[in-house]
Amino acid sequence: MPSKEVSPLGEAKLPLLESHLLTDEIDQHDQTLRQRVWIESKKLWHIVGPSIFSRIASYSMLVITQAFAGHLGDLELAAISIANNVVVGFDFGLLLGMASALETLCGQAYGAKKYYMLGVYMQRSWIVLFICCILLLPLYLFASPVLKLLGQTDELAELSGAVTIWMLPVHFAFAFQFPLQRFLQCQMKTAPIAWVSLVALLVHVFVCWLFVFKLQFGVVGAAATINFSWWVLTLGLLGYVVWGSGCPHTWTGFSLEAFSGLWEFVKLSAAAGVMLCLENWYYKILILMTGNLNNAEIAVDALSVCMTINSWELMIPFAFFAATGVRVANELGAGNGKGAKFATTVSVVTSVIIGLFFWMLIMILHDKFGYIFSNSKAVLDEVNNLSLLLAFTILLNSVQPVLSGVAVGSGWQSYVAYINLGCYYIIGVPLGFLMGWVFNQGVMGIWAGMIFGGTATQTLVLSLITIRCDWDREAEKAKLHLSKWAEPKQELN
């Protein structure tokens, strides 16, 4: 159990914050298993519920933008799609991954009741991600020549490059919004994230209608709408944290301490960014490999339908990823290794049950769900053929992100980055190539090889590591980790 000493910040006098910690006042030995599962599930869903909504809202902003652009013409739709998926998608994945370092540090600090350090960690993340944004500027400024090198037509590359330039403001919004979201999640303050996401989504729909249909700003106007919604989201969360009364003990103002220990923070952020980017890019490679098949148009269309379904459903496992990272980090920071293990078990079991539900839904509707996106018999037949792989992909994805969340909460990012590299790119991609081309299995072979060779192998390795983990030792490591990172030089008077 964590110490009850009164620190300079007066942590022991913060009943509202203490109520969110994993370690309950009731002795766990006096609780039945059902009671413990119920208590843990409430804490888990306190994060998962709003996280699912906020992630779906954010994803919907991109979908809505593409839908409005689609009414302008095929070229405009393609330009927005490439800008979102190639340029912004790469940027989004890297910065989101780097920001996940906060889930380790803030989560463990919150569990250890070192509340003051949460604000310092967030400011360090802002600095690191902002510098990263500066370094990534050429990706936006020279998008057109890069896309031409990747084989896009001159007309499409030029328009995509122009669209990308107008998305520069959202590029910098990522650097502030991602750390703000994780800062709040680690304190179980998820309701503000959901409400601000709802406001941002409504603003986005209105601005899209205004710029595209009313003012007729064209594809550039469609691209510019993303900036409004994401900065509404960013400024809304910033206002709640800095100028509101939501975080009086974890945000005590801007501090020069944020500029100390930056190199260690960079290393942890970089490891987290690489870990998540290797996962993100894996599915992009699947689509690129399919696009190089002979007569690939039908295969790519069918695969896009399946990937869209997968992306929507993936918002649920991603929410469990965030919640598990927070829960495990909170427990380890509080010195409760057994609590971290129990939180992991409840999260995995809950996510698998949801995954089984969607697996069954896809299996039952295998010849029906394609009608949402297409009326082409050839595409629908191919979607039907791919539905079994989609079902098992969804089932595997109900486990893998949760285990990645355990890794984030425990601070294993650099270790898991190597696992992802080996499983995805040394086993999965070559096996997909072998199945698709050497054995002439087409898109089904590529997908099966990459899923069962890469994703399944990575899930198995992470499962074995999690099962064999010495959680008491991890709690001790978290304590040493915090003593290294959390050295407050300022006190609250």
H, E, C per residue of 293-342: CCCCHHHHHHHHHHHHHHHHHHHHHHHHHHHHHHHHHHHHHCCCHHHHHH
246 and 306, same domain (yes or no): no
Sign, CA dihedral 57-50-189-132, equals: negative
189 and 328, same domain (yes or no): no
- Percent of the chain at pLDDT exceeding 70: 86
pLDDT at 371: 81
196 and 283, same domain (yes or no): no
Is 415 inside any structural domain? yes
Taking the C-alpha atoms of residue 94 and residue 273, their distance in angstroms, rounded to an integer, is 5
pLDDT of 345 higher than 90: yes
Q: What are phi and psi of 281, to 5 degrees?
A: -70, -25
Is 2 inside any structural domain? no
Tokens standing for residue 241:
């944290």
Compute the residue count for the chain: 493
306 and 362, same domain (yes or no): yes
Name the band, by pLDDT with cuts 50, 70 and 90, for residue 484. low
Taking the C-alpha atoms of residue 469 and residue 341, their distance in angstroms, rounded to an integer, is 9
40 and 89, same domain (yes or no): yes
Average pLDDT over residues 122-138: 91
Is 10 inside any structural domain? no
Contact (Cβ atoms closer than 8 angstroms) between residue 21 and residue 334 = yes
Domain encompassing residue 312 = 271-487
215 and 241, same domain (yes or no): yes
CA 407, distance to chain mean position in Å, is 14
CA 330, distance to chain mean position in Å, is 19
Radius of gyration of the chain (CA): 23
Tokens standing for residue 312:
């929507």
Is 471 inside any structural domain? yes
Tokens standing for residue 338:
């057994």
pLDDT at 283: 73
| Residue after which a domain boundary falls, among 235, 260, 285 | 260
101 and 24, same domain (yes or no): yes
pLDDT at 352: 94
Mean pLDDT (the chain, rounded): 81
| Residue after which a domain boundary falls, among 227, 260, 293 | 260
Q: Is the pTM of this model over 0.95?
A: no
pLDDT of 298 higher than 60: yes
pLDDT of 306 higher than 60: yes
pLDDT at 490: 43
Contact (Cβ atoms closer than 8 angstroms) between residue 57 and residue 200 = yes
pLDDT at 346: 94
Contact (Cβ atoms closer than 8 angstroms) between residue 273 and residue 95 = yes
pLDDT of 9 higher than 80: no
Is 9 inside any structural domain? no
Q: Which of 249, 250, 340, 473 lies closest to 23 in space, CA to CA?
A: 340
Contact (Cβ atoms closer than 8 angstroms) between residue 443 and residue 436 = yes
pLDDT of 362 higher than 90: yes
Strand, helix or coil for residue 234: helix
278 and 160, same domain (yes or no): no
pLDDT in tens, 170-220: 889 989 999 999 899 888 888 899 999 999 999 998 998 898 888 888 888
Contact (Cβ atoms closer than 8 angstroms) between residue 101 and residue 413 = yes
pLDDT at 189: 87
Amino acid at 29: H
223 and 280, same domain (yes or no): no
Is 230 inside any structural domain? yes
Name the band, by pLDDT with cuts 50, 70 and 90, for residue 248. confident
What DSSP string describes 178-231?
Answer: HHHHHHHHTTT--HHHHHHHHHHHHHHHHHHIIIIIIS--HHHHHHHHHHHHHH
Is 483 inside any structural domain? yes
Q: Which of 205, 246, 198, 195 lies closest to 225 in space, CA to CA?
A: 205
Taking the C-alpha atoms of residue 286 and residue 424, their distance in angstroms, rounded to an integer, is 11
216 and 134, same domain (yes or no): yes
118 and 170, same domain (yes or no): yes
| Residue after which a domain boundary falls, among 260, 289, 320 | 260
Sign, CA dihedral 191-194-197-202, equals: negative
H-helix segments, 71-153: 74-82, 89-99, 101-111, 117-135, 137-141, 143-149
Taking the C-alpha atoms of residue 450 and residue 430, their distance in angstroms, rounded to an integer, is 8
Least confident of 222-236, 275-289, 338-352: 275-289
Is 493 inside any structural domain? no
Number of domains in the chain: 2
pLDDT of 108 higher than 90: no
Range with top average pLDDT, 315-324, 345-354, 397-406, 441-450: 345-354
78 versus 168: the higher-pLDDT residue is 168
Taking the C-alpha atoms of residue 118 and residue 124, their distance in angstroms, rounded to an integer, is 10
Average pLDDT over residues 304-311: 79
252 and 283, same domain (yes or no): no
Quote the DSSP letter at residue 21. Answer: S
pLDDT at 292: 65
Least confident of 1-15, 56-70, 351-365, 450-464: 1-15
